[in-house]
Chains A and B, each alone.
Chain A
Amino acid sequence: MSTAPLQQFGILSLLGHLGARARQIVQRVSDRMRFAFQAAAVVFRLRSLGIGYTWRVILNQVKFTGLHAVPFLTFVSAVSSALLVIQVLNQVSKLGFEAIIGTVYVAALVRELAPLLTAVVVIGRSGTAIAAELSTNRVWEEITALETMGIDPLHYVVFPRLVGVTLATMCLVVYFDVVALIFGYISARLTTGMTAGTYLRYIIDQFTMADFYVTGLKSFLFGIIIALIPSFHGLVVRGAPTDVPKATTRAVVECLALVFLVSGVVSALFYY
């Protein structure tokens, strides 16, 4: 018996499977893009909708995402910068290459680790909270209740989170850099006895304007991702409370993947 038809069937089946998968991915991307455009459209309707009562939600979001994250972010920033500085200086100080600490701080911490680690902390705290809260609101029909009151959920629920999380993330990245600068110096001082003046000179020599743009752009985009993706997953939930943890998990995984992808793309655009 010839195996050709079977092989053909196998290839067709594989192609069919790949096609279906590709269609599913395109559908998912277009769903998220549509949601992002709808959320963005609220900004253009603000003249008629007004900020109104949403300022209270924005303040709460900034407080939760920004202020409440400070102790944990301080810990993450202090430990990561100290470890990095100690490891690098231990290797290079014997060769007299202490100046490399400026490159390490700017290239590794400011450009890459600060936005990424801040985003991971914000996803862990606020991304999960947004997805869990909105999906619970959906299950309890609180979102439907808002619609019956003539309240636009995109304006009342998503827009304040978008503004609050983006503002807070941008501030937290700057805060991360400052804490890393301080703990990096303490570590350098303890490891090699480096003076503050020398430490600062090494770092300032490495800074370029591009570093400010990249940090600002990354933190801005990360804030948008961390607000929109969990909001999307929270609001698409229908029905059962068992969908709440599923929505939260999906939101976290998708946020992490997108944040790393965007970080890579932005760095590639500016530095390669």
Chain B
Amino acid sequence: MDIPMGSGADTLSEAMSGEGHDHRGETVLRCRGLQAHHHGEVILAGLDLDIQLGEVVSLIVESEWAARLVPRVLIGLESSDGGEVELQGTRLSGLSEHLKLQLRRNIGYLFHNSGLIHNLTVWYNVALPALYHTRFKDLQGVGEHVNVLIDRCQLTEWSNLRPAELDESSRKRVALARAWVMSPAFLVYEDPLMNIDTASGSELLDLSFGPTPPEWAGRDPRPADSAVLITSQGLHEGLFRYVDRMIVIKEGEVAFSGNPKQFDRRAKVHLRDLINTKEASDHEL
């Protein structure tokens, strides 16, 4: 899809209304020949990737830095060294910072270190994107939605605390609730299991992708049918249960791409140095 992105576009709707925009909106993210380097190290050497609505994709890279850099390049926070990215049908190259910000309103982003605002309470951290992007007259519903999300993420008793008063696992849940608050079409999890233990990591994955508990049936506030991209350094077998597609990047190239079921013993041995020992010990290999 080739989108003419004139620099004269003043609003995102103007930019998105260009010829070639995919109004059917199935593909949330599309990149072609994406290249990224960090201090001479090749992070991506021409990545082609499509992510559809409702799809959960895990992108496994070799370093912590790569796990942070790749998703940021994909949403236009960092510039790439080559290639094209289209986010929700809009090509990022040539887009002004103001329009990129507008585009990101429809993205939920979970930071590797939670990325919470330290002088705000848990409640305000979760509510911030909604409070900022909602017109004053429409603010009434925001509070209720935030309360439901905080309850869903088991944060109710801590809603008046500040992030520094919580442990890392709780901070990740706050960041998760914040990523969900705008009910985005595209969710990006940047190394979500970093700095938390295996049990907390499993809880976080269950909370994100697990089946809706009976008490939440019919009123689950999690965004439905969003496209999800999870980047991580190394392979966490906890993700196997939830992802539709795994892509392993080795030395900048795609070393494996497919369904987790296809990720067999041979592939594991081949990519042994990428396997995170957190859950997949050498014994399991």
With A and B bound together, what is the CA distance between A150 and B179 in angstroms? 12
Residues from chain B with a CB closer than 8 A to the CB of A146 are: 117
Residues from chain B with a CB closer than 8 A to the CB of A71 are: none
Given A53-B131, A53-B132, A141:B104 Cβ within 8 A = no
Q: CB within 8 Å of B: which of A141-178?
A: 141-142, 144-152, 156
* Interface CB pairs A-B, < 8 A, 20: A52-B136, A140-B113, A140-B115, A141-B113, A142-B115, A142-B116, A142-B117, A144-B115, A145-B111, A145-B115, A145-B117, A146-B117, A147-B104, A148-B109, A148-B111, A149-B128, A150-B101, A150-B129, A151-B132, A156-B132
The proximity string for A residues 199-211 relative to B, scoring 1 for CB distances below 8 Å and 0 otherwise, is 0000000000000
Are B104 and A150 within 8 A (Cβ)? yes
A48 at the interface (CB under 8 A from B): yes
With A and B bound together, what is the CA distance between A151 and B119 in angstroms? 17
Q: CB within 8 Å of A: which of B55-111?
A: 72, 75, 77, 98, 101-107, 109, 111
A50 at the interface (CB under 8 A from B): yes
> Least Cβ distance of B243 to chain A in Å?
22
The proximity string for B residues 175-199 relative to A, scoring 1 for CB distances below 8 Å and 0 otherwise, is 0001000000000100000000000
Are B118 and A140 within 8 A (Cβ)? yes
With A and B bound together, what is the CA distance between A147 and B117 in angstroms? 12
Q: Which residues of A contact B (CB under 8 A)?
A: 45, 48, 50, 52-53, 133, 137, 140-142, 144-152, 156
B266 at the interface (CB under 8 A from A): no
The closest CB in chain A to the CB of B120 belongs to A142
Q: Which of B103, B117, B188 contacts A150 (CB 8 A)?
A: B103
Are B131 and A149 within 8 A (Cβ)? no
Given A52-B135, A141-B115, A150:B128 Cβ within 8 A = no
The closest CB in chain A to the CB of B135 belongs to A50
Minimum-distance CB pairs A-B, first 5: A145-B115, A150-B105, A148-B109, A150-B104, A149-B129
The listed residue with most B CB atoms (<10 A of its CB), out of A137, A140, A156, is: A140
Q: What is the predominant secondary structure among interface residues of chain B facing chain A?
A: mixed
Interface size on B, residues (CB 8 A): 30
> Least Cβ distance of A106 to chain B in Å?
42
Residues from chain B with a CB closer than 8 A to the CB of A137 are: 117-118
Residues from chain B with a CB closer than 8 A to the CB of A156 are: 132
Are B104 and A45 within 8 A (Cβ)? no
B133 at the interface (CB under 8 A from A): yes
With A and B bound together, what is the CA distance between A147 and B111 in angstroms? 12
Residues from chain A with a CB closer than 8 A to the CB of B133 are: 52, 150
* A-B contact sample (9 more), CB < 8 A, given A137-B118, A140-B115: A50-B136, A52-B133, A142-B115, A144-B77, A145-B115, A147-B101, A148-B104, A150-B101, A150-B106
The listed residue with most A CB atoms (<10 A of its CB), out of B11, B77, B109, B115, is: B115
Residues from chain B with a CB closer than 8 A to the CB of A145 are: 109, 111, 115-117
Given A48-B11, A142-B118, A149:B111 Cβ within 8 A = no
> Least Cβ distance of A23 to chain B in Å?
25
> Least Cβ distance of B223 to chain A in Å?
15
With A and B bound together, what is the CA distance between A40 and B163 in angstroms? 32
> Least Cβ distance of B123 to chain A in Å?
13
The listed residue with most B CB atoms (<10 A of its CB), out of A137, A147, A148, is: A148
Residues from chain B with a CB closer than 8 A to the CB of A48 are: 11
Q: CB within 8 Å of A: which of B116-157?
A: 116-119, 128-129, 131-136
